[in-house]
Chain A
Amino acid sequence: MHKTIEFIGGLAVLAALSSGGALIAGHTGIAVPGPVLGMLVYTGLLLGTTWLDWTLGAARLVASLIGALLVAPLVGVALFGDVAARGGVRLAVLLVVSTALTALATAWLFRAAGGKA
Chain B
Amino acid sequence: MTLLWSALVTIGVPLTFVAVRRATALVGSPPYLSPVLIAALLVGAACCRAPLDIAAFERLAAPLRWALGPAIVALGAVVHASRLQLRAQIGALLIAVVGGTLVGIASAVGIAWAFGLEPMLRDALVTKTVTTPFAILIQTRAGGPVGLAAALAVFTGVVGAVTVPPLLRALRIQGSAATGLAIGVSSHIVGTDAIQRRDPRAAAFAGGATVLAGVTAAVVVPLIWQWLQRHGG
Which B-chain residue is minimally distant from A58 (CB atoms)? B74
Q: Which of A62-117 contact B (CB under 8 A)?
A: 62-63, 65-80, 83-84, 86-87, 90-91, 93-107, 109-117
Contacts between chains A and B (CB distance < 8 A), count = 327
Selected contact of B185 from candidates A34, A71, A90, A106, CB within 8 Å: A106
- Contact A59–B186 (Cβ < 8 Å): no
Known: A63-B75, A70-B133. A35 touches B70 (CB 8 A): yes
Q: Which residues of B contact A22 (CB under 8 A)?
A: 69
Number of contacting residues on B, CB 8 A?
111
With the chains together, A78 CA to B209 CA distance in Å?
30
- Is B151 within 8 A of A107, CB to CB? no
Q: What 0/1 readout, one digit per residue, does chain B (153-180) give for beta carbons within 8 Å of chain A?
A: 0111001100110011001011111110
Could you tell me if A43 and B79 are in contact, using CB atoms closer than 8 angstroms?
yes
A102 near B185 (CB under 8 angstroms)? yes
Residues of A within 8 A of B112 (CB): 94
Please measure, in the bound complex, the distance between the C-alpha atom of A106 and the C-alpha atom of B177, giving whole angstroms: 11
- Asked if A83 meets B18 with Cβ closer than 8 Å, knowing A46-B76, A63-B74, A73-B136, the reply is no
Q: Does B33 contact A (CB under 8 A)?
A: no
Cross-chain contact B218 with A103 (CB below 8 angstroms) = no
A72, A112, A116: most-surrounded residue (chain B CB, <10 A): A72
Say yes or no: A39 contacts B13, CB within 8 Å. Answer: no
With A and B bound together, what is the CA distance between A102 and B104 in angstroms? 5
Which B residues are CB-close (under 8 A) to A32? 218-219, 222
A interface footprint on B57-96 (CB within 8 Å = 1, 0 otherwise): 1100100110111111111111111010000010111011
CB-defined contacts of A8 to chain B, threshold 8 Å: none
Question: Is A24 interfacial (CB-CB < 8 Å)?
Answer: no
Whole-angstrom distance between the alpha carbons of A78 and B73 in the complex? 28
| A60-B81, A113-B96, A114-B91 given; 14 more Cβ-contact pairs under 8 Å | A14-B74, A17-B73, A18-B73, A33-B137, A56-B77, A70-B36, A71-B39, A75-B57, A76-B147, A77-B148, A86-B118, A105-B100, A106-B185, A113-B92
19 interchain pairs, CB-CB under 8 A: A43-B79, A46-B79, A46-B80, A59-B77, A68-B18, A69-B133, A71-B36, A73-B136, A74-B132, A75-B57, A78-B54, A94-B125, A98-B107, A99-B159, A101-B104, A103-B183, A104-B173, A106-B181, A110-B182
